[in-house]
Each structure stands twice: as structure tokens, then as C-alpha cells.
Amino acid sequence: MKERLVHFSLTIVDPDDAAGLSVLEAYFTALVKMTIVAVSVAPSIDEGSGTLDIDDDGVNVISGIVAATQNTPGTWISTRLGGTETPVVIAQGSLVSFDFNSYTIAVSAIVDVWYFAN
């Protein structure tokens, strides 16, 4: 089967207006084997030390994507797309979750993920 580059974008909002985003703010089950090759994340407002981690069945596989400045999206780019990070393979059926760190104020974030579907 040929690989297909797939992109999806989600806006993640904490339902509690008084709190910041934190662990397990959003998650999905991988319906196909995925090879993540790029991630971009941008908060809705400046949040000085915010970062994003992505977990595969509870195990951190991508960590520390800086997501602190509204007008400067943090990026994680693999060698498959000219970056320096190692592509991350997610098995079909895995639970993929998004963990936000160090957000102290109400903020939403737009997360874009590019992956090859195998």
C-alpha cells in the first residue's frame, strides 16, 4: 500500500474557563498505522512557558513542543520533511493523547498534525 500524507487540525479548548490546558485534554484512537512527521501548535494567547507533549498509549513519544506565543507557532518537524526529529510511528488502534504543560491561564490551542498513513 502506498503512503499518503494526511493533515488534520484541531482546536483544543479547556471547558473550565478559569483553568489552563493540562494533560489528556484531547485524544483519539488511531484508525490506521500513522507515521507522524510534523506537528505545529499555537495558543490563543501568549502563555510564557507552555509546551505540548503527544503520548502513544500513555507513553510520551513527542515532547516539549514550545507552545507559548500566540503569533509564533511551536513546531516539531521530522527528517522526512527536512527537520531534525525522528519520525514517530503510531500503531493502528493506539490511543493518542495531547498533554499541555505549564499553562496557568485559560487558553485554547490549535494543533496541526501531519502524518503518513500506512
DSSP 28-76: EE-SS-EEEEEEEEEESS--TT-EEEEEETTEEEEEEEE--BTTB-EEE
Please tell me the predicted confidence (pLDDT) of residue 109. Answer: 85
pTM value is 0.88
User: Do residues 30 and 90 lie in contact, with contact meaning Cβ atoms separated by under 8 Å?
Assistant: yes
d(CA 93, CA 79): 25
Place of cell 500503531: 91
In the numeric block, which cell numbers belong to residue 93? 488502534
Please tell me the predicted confidence (pLDDT) of residue 15. Answer: 62
Q: Which fold has domain 4-117?
A: Jelly Rolls (2.60.120)
Write out residues in the chain with pLDDT < 70, as ranges.
1, 14-25, 104-106
